[in-house]
Structure 1
């Protein structure tokens, strides 16, 4: 699974170009995706040590590997985090209950590590996995595409957010409430997308 998702730069660019155009509306909460993978409640180094011990003795431990991967990448140990996410995803497929949340978290960790292309590929994998029009997709893919310099596509995706919930997304005033898990820098980037949308709103369809 992990190997299939590790694509070359050229293939990644081709995949990015093949992202379908947005649907009209995105109302699905997709709650099983947009959540952290939590097995142990401890935090920081204590959690990392506990999860490491579990991984040493437990076969599989896909969820534990995913939680430890997130903690590692959050701590700046990006290579270790990637290895652990690869371990987690190697034991999962799209039919597993935690697969979507693992991929979603991996995407955010990649994005925040500065690897915007790989983050996009993970989000695109979720988009393509099944026919879900999830509410997280328009703002997240708008952010991702804008960060890749694909600004016209980013505006198209932002427009889908506005079509779905116009009173929420037609300005950036509510971003802090709507996107509490995003960093200020991420919300600022999305505000650039919003401004580009406001300057020239694309027509639908």
Structure 2
């Protein structure tokens, strides 16, 4: 057999394929996606980067989750899961403490860095990208607002739930995102004491419709 000429390029075999599955692959992908979206936001995150973080082929990301907006939705649902327990909070306690319980629970999520940081990443993505905003809005509408509304036995339950959510999200945004003073550094108990009565009115007070027409 003739020896290969000196300096001749060596034939390369097929590259070793990356692991495309196995136990825990789906969970690794979701964990990598959450980290990627949190660090880079929706616009800059990519399926390839998520695949690298999970040590799988990009095709496997598509196989389990579909396009980027679908895996973003899965990541958002996981990160937003603590907030989805708000409806359960309304079932535990007296009717006249609805506002305090929901206010304390919701603002408490934002006070805890472990739950606040993923929420901040979601909000930043939703503000910057229409697709991310749509995903987030659908989750909040279907799994948070609708569930709170189901617990209310008053006229306009959906409107009341949305008003309560808007009030609490607005407080959280000013306190933790925009960091407006003195709200940003105010004692949490002081904030709860001021906000809770307004939330109580949304959830259990008078008809939220205007009593007189706007000029």
TM-score, normalising length: structure 1: 0.31
The higher radius of gyration belongs to 2
More helix by share: 2
TM-score, normalising length: structure 2: 0.30
